Each structure stands twice: as C-alpha cells, then as structure tokens.
C-alpha cells in the first residue's frame, strides 16, 4: 500500500503574492484589456541590491546586504517601509513592495508600492552600528529614494530613530532642498506626526470595529467584551493590544519572538507592556501561562491579530486556529493554503492590505504635511484616518458581496476565456480587496498609457 504525502506548501512570499494576484484576475472586469496589462501591473519596476561595508564597534568591517524594490509608480511615487531582519531577501522585499501597491490603491492614497530590507539582526547590533548601517544604506540608495520618487517608512525592527537617520543622511546629500518628505514615521520634532507610531494598529482597530458594525461576525457588533489574542508585541502588536483593551476587549494572549503568555481571564495590557520594557520579553509575566511563539495563534479567542511576521498561519496549523476573525496587522501572516482551510471552516480573514493600511495612510498625511510645511493636529489626523479605514472596509465588504452574487457569471466568463483552467473558487475578503486595488491600478495605467 502506498501513502500519499502532501507536497510541502510553497512559502516563498513572492510566489504567494502571485497566487493571490491570480485569484483576483478572473474577477477583474474588462478581461481583454486586463489580460494585456496583467504583467505590467504585477512585475516590479526596479529591484536594487546593494552591499555595504560598515565598521562594527569592535573595529572590524562587515559587509551588509540591502534591497529596495519599487514595485509600481503607476499611481504615484513608491511608498513602503524598510525592515532590518536576518532573513530579509529579495523575494520577500518584492512581495512586500507589491502588497504596498495594492494597499495604497485600496485606501486610495496617491502612492505606488515599494519596500526595503537590510539583512541584519538588530538584536545583535548596538545603536551606533544600526546608525552606521542605516546611513550607509541610505547613501547606497542614492537618488532611488526621494520625496517624489520613493519614500521609505519604518517596518520590522526599524522605528522613528531609523527614519531620523535616513532623513539626516539624505539631507546631507541634498543640501538646501526641502527634504522632510523623503521619509515618513519621523520623530515629531522633525516633521513627524504623533499619530504615526500607533497608526498601523489604530487602522486595524478602526477596520475591525467597522467590520463588526457591518455584520462581519453575526451576533457581535462591537469589540467591547470580545476576546482577542495578538502575536507580536512591537509597534503593531503592542499598540493593538492597548487599543482593543481600552475599547473593552479581553486580551487573552500576547507573544513576541521569545514566546507567548495566556490568561483566559484577560491580561492587564499596561502591566504586560511595563514587564516587556523591563525584561525585553513578555515571557515570564507573572500569573499567566507561558506559550511557545506560535502558541498564541491557537488559543481560544474570537479575534486573532497576527502582528509579527509572515507565514505564521499555514496548512500546518490552520485547522488549529480557534478564532472567528483574523485581522492581519502583519504583512502576509496567512498563506493561500491556510486561507482556503480557514474559509472552509467559516473563519473570516481581514487581509493585510486593508487591516494594516493605517500606517501608510498616516504616512501619507505626514508626507502631505511636510510638503505644505503645515502642522496637523492629532485629533484631525485620527479622524481622517478613521474615515479612510471605514470607507476602505465598506468597499471591500460590498465588493465581496457583489462578486459572490455574480459568481456564476464570472465562472462562465472565465471558463470561456480559459477553458483549461480549474473553476474559480468563491472569493474571500482578500480576493475582493485585491480586485478593488488591482482595478484601480489598471485604470490609472490605462489613463496614463504606455510610454513612449
């Protein structure tokens, strides 16, 4: 007797982005015009790889590798974070840049998509080494970044301080110019917005709140009293924990790269944050059970917020997820195979390009403020953010309903256009969000035309 062993899931992020794109294609109207420009919309415009010598504290010189990918400038200059991570690689950065294009289109900010990464482990690097890496990377990027070409922001293991170094280095290279809009997520003292630090989590919160109001989780209309688990306790995760907690949610579990903690009665988020500041991890917080880093994904809760890294919910653990709604504060935490398994069980996934778009929305406000030399009030910024996030949530929920209603028509049209292709599955929220975003990029591309 032979046993069939399932092929391991392809976790290459750029392949995942392509799978998601291919799922959206059959739902894009105007099939003929569409198929002609699909490649244009999908392929990255520019992939830059640099190696940089940086002097370490012990006097040795180490070669670091960095990437910046401009996926699309069809809708405006590139926009996207820079991450420092030992596993950063070109396919990951290409994928993240592509998601940025869809994200900016979905929340309708006038940017294209970009992303950057430096291969390094910031936990092993002193502040001085991180500063030298950042400055050297900025110099290596040269005029590939700029206020009207490509505008970086913080991401995994980078923050306002990193952005201040980028701004300063770029300014040294472009004296006498108005350089503030070259980077967003800066400290408030140099043109940043107070709301930027918590903006990604704030956006995820507004989206979740409105998703529930729109009936996304039948029987539950507000986050008050809802149980929430959060993976990751950095910028996105920590702010999310505070925001959901303040709104009355019960935070039953949180985690960081060292592990997780769980208390079904609810954690005191303020006390957990103070513990993390003192000990560098949430693990060991008194009175809570300890979990392995991915354990928090599997705890009993109504809302799960992955806010750490990609590929966390895969075909290996999707059947053990007990949440009813997953809010992707991180980029790419749920794989396509896991999407299918979750959909089968009725678990809703609010996709990253919607759920974590608050960061880029407030980055856009910061960029606009810098260009106009204005200073915006925090309550105005938050109100504008709330409107954008609610509008985008409605657009996605409505589009999904419309796609599902017309599924027979889409299936017939697809079968005619692609007779050998398998039948298209029912679209989920991710596919609906991608369809909206990709159609907006396509419309912009068609208006602009192909140069020359």
CB 80 within 8 A of CB 68: no
Q: Residue 300 region, left (φ>0) first, then alpha (ψ -120 to 50), else beta?
A: beta
Alpha-carbon distances, residue 15 vs 10, 362, 434 (angstroms): 7, 29, 16
CB 237 within 8 A of CB 305: yes
Q: Which is nearer to ligand NAD, 156 or 301 (CB)?
A: 156
- Quote the distance between the C-alpha of residue 247 and its chain's center: 23
Residue whose token pair is 């991570």: 85
Q: Which is nearer to ligand NAD, 241 or 435 (CB)?
A: 241
Which residues are catalytically annotated?
115
CA pair distance 41, 75, nearest whole angstrom = 11
Contact residues for 13 (Cβ-Cβ < 8 A; gap 6+) = 91, 92, 94, 95, 96, 310, 311, 332
Structure tokens at 8: 């391991």
Residue 212 CB, shortest distance to ligand NAD, in Å, is 21
CA pair distance 363, 361, nearest whole angstrom = 5
CA pair distance 184, 363, nearest whole angstrom = 5
| Closest to 356 (Cα-Cα) out of 329, 381, 374 | 329
Structure tokens at 333: 């935490």
Residue 432 CB, shortest distance to ligand NAD, in Å, is 20
| Closest to 303 (Cα-Cα) out of 334, 285, 328, 282 | 328
CB 68 within 8 A of CB 144: yes
CA pair distance 334, 330, nearest whole angstrom = 9
Residue 26 CB, shortest distance to ligand NAD, in Å, is 28
Instruction: State residue 151 phi and psi, 5-degree precision.
Output: -120, 105
Residue 292 CB, shortest distance to ligand NAD, in Å, is 9
For the sheet with 289-291, list strands across it. Answer: 289-291, 259-262, 250-256, 227-231, 303-306, 325-327, 348-350
Q: Which is nearer to ligand NAD, 215 or 280 (CB)?
A: 280
Q: Which is nearer to ligand NAD, 93 or 223 (CB)?
A: 93
Q: Which is nearer to ligand NAD, 335 or 414 (CB)?
A: 335
Q: Provide the binding-site residues for ligand NAD, judged by CB under 6 A.
A: 154-157, 200, 231-237, 255-257, 293, 307-309, 329-331, 356, 359
Residue 281 CB, shortest distance to ligand NAD, in Å, is 8
Residue 258 CB, shortest distance to ligand NAD, in Å, is 7
Residue 87 CB, shortest distance to ligand NAD, in Å, is 10
- Per DSSP, the residues of 86-120 read TT--HHHHHHHHHHHHHHHHHTT-S-EEEEEEE--
Q: Which is nearer to ligand NAD, 211 or 233 (CB)?
A: 233
Residue 181 CB, shortest distance to ligand NAD, in Å, is 17
Q: Which is nearer to ligand NAD, 25 or 109 (CB)?
A: 109
Q: Which is nearer to ligand NAD, 207 or 403 (CB)?
A: 207
Q: For ligand NAD, which residue has the nearest CB?
A: 234
């Amino acid at each position: 007797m032979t046993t069939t062993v399932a092929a391991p899931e392809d976790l290459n992020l750029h392949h995942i982005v392509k799978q998601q794109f291919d799922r959206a294609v059959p739902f894009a109207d105007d099939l003929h015009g569409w198929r002609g420009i699909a490649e244009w919309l999908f392929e990255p415009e520019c992939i830059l790889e640099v190696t940089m010598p940086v002097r370490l504290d012990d006097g040795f010189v180490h070669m670091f590798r960095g990437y910046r990918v401009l996926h699309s400038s069809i809708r405006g200059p590139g926009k996207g974070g820079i991450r420092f991570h030992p596993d950063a690689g070109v396919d990951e950065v290409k994928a993240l840049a592509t998601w940025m294009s869809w994200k900016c289109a979905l929340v309708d900010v006038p940017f294209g998509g970009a992303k950057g990464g430096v291969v390094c482990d910031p936990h092993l690097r002193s502040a001085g080494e991180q500063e030298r890496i950042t400055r050297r990377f900025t110099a290596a990027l040269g005029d590939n970044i700029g206020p009207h070409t490509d505008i970086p922001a913080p991401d995994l293991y980078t923050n306002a301080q990193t952005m201040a170094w980028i701004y300063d280095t770029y300014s040294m290279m472009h004296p006498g110019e108005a350089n503030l809009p070259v980077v967003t997520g800066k400290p408030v003292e140099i043109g940043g917005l107070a709301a930027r630090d918590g903006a990604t989590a704030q956006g995820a919160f507004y989206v979740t709140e409105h998703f529930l109001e729109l009936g996304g989780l039948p029987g539950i209309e507000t986050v008050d009293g809802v149980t929430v688990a959060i993976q990751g306790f950095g910028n996105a995760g920590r702010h999310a924990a505070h925001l959901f907690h303040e709104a009355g949610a019960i935070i039953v579990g949180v985690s960081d790269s060292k592990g997780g903690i769980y208390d079904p009665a609810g954690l005191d988020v303020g006390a957990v944050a103070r513990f993390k500041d003192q000990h560098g991890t949430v693990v060991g917080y008194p009175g809570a059970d300890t979990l392995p880093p991915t354990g928090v994904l599997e705890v009993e809760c109504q809302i799960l917020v992955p806010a750490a890294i990609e590929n966390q919910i895969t075909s290996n653990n999707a059947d053990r997820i007990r949440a009813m709604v997953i809010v992707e504060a991180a980029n790419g935490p749920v794989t396509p195979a896991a999407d299918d398994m979750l959909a089968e069980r009725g678990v809703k996934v609010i996709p990253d390009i919607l759920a974590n778009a608050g960061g880029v929305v407030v980055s856009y406000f910061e960029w606009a403020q810098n260009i106009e030399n204005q200073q915006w009030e925090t309550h105005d910024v938050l109100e504008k953010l709330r409107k954008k996030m609610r509008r985008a949530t409605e657009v996605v929920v409505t589009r999904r309903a419309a796609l599902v209603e017309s599924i027979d028509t889409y299936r017939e049209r697809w079968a005619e256009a692609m007779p050998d292709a398998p039948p298209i599955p029912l679209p989920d929220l991710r596919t609906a969000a991608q369809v909206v975003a990709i159609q907006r990029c396509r419309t912009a591309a068609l208006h602009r035309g192909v140069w020359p």
